[in-house]
Structure 1
Amino acid sequence: MFKRIIDEEIELKILEYRHIEEDYLLIDNNRSYLRRWLPWLDNTTRVEDVNKFIKSSLQQFANNEGFTAGIWYRGDFAGAIGYHEVNWLHKKVSIGYWLGYEFTDLGIMTRACKSMVDYAFSELGLHRVEIRCAEGNVKSMGIPERLGFKNEGILREAEWLYDHYVSHVVYSMLDIEWKRTDEFI
């Protein structure tokens, strides 16, 4: 199973069934905050919905196609980060993430993303990592920018968000550009 201790404050662990309750509670307690940018909130209204998500994430992990990890900050469940489908032919992956409001502005997601990028390049041997952020989601966009990702442009109206389309800003990092140093955080 996937587990990474980033530092004395942050640990990443693959989401398992035993995490269902704390995952659901964080989502439910942050519903209005998360709904602004995440399209799946209205489809995650019961503990059973989180159970289904974790089941599909574990199947994705078993199929070697990616996974979702929980983020623990000082022992508390803070959010999630994961690889959307790994494309082994082209050696690339996209990272998605979210945090509960009370865990924002602490550098948690920047450190978690850095760890996931390190893992993609050093352990999985991938060539390209993408992060896509809704245009206007300044906090999310700051993460790949702090990590030195290149802004490749905008995918116009790429996602339906409840009652309107949002465009995505596409950021990328190549293995030959990545430096595993602490200069970004």
Structure 2
Amino acid sequence: MTPHGRDDVLRGLAGAQADWTAYAAALPLDAFFRAPAPGRWAPAGHLRHLTLTHRRVTQGLGMPRPALRVMFGAPSTHRPYPEVVTAYRAALAAGGTAPDRYVPAPDTDPTEATEATRTAVLDGYARGAEALRAALARWPDAALDTHALPHDLLGRLSVRELAYFTLYHDLHHLRGVQAALEPS
């Protein structure tokens, strides 16, 4: 999928949420809370990370547009989805990592995990993803290119670029979890 407009991104985000929810709900409980390797996040940790990042993007999208203009100016780039993905991959390859504010709390001990705990993680992710989509839906498509928001690794992005990033970010984490748990 290569999104172009706001509605493409909204459909992609809804699809990513559905894919994440279905995949995570089908995992054995211990696999949901167990890190696949030392220093890596469990699937629950990835969902908590996404919930944190969704909250931050939702906050930015909810700010009055004139305030965004004063705070961050006009965007200096207008990259399509593939270029945003390439820039993010390059930032990761150069050693970029999530800032501490986006690092999830330590995962539940897999031996103490319950279905209620999994449900709470999935519900938090769902609420965050839905709030993000609702905030993005309030933006006219044309306004996505005229306002900017900051990104820790990619710098100042147009709102459209940030929406592209957010979609890719959800899919990136899902694919990473799948690759770690289902090596070929």
Q: Same fold (TM over 0.5)?
A: no
User: Normalised by the size of structure 2, how large is the TM-score?
Assistant: 0.29
Larger radius of gyration: 2
The structure that is helix-richer by fraction is 2
The one of the two structures with greater contact order (alpha-carbon pairs below 8 A, sep at least 6) is 2
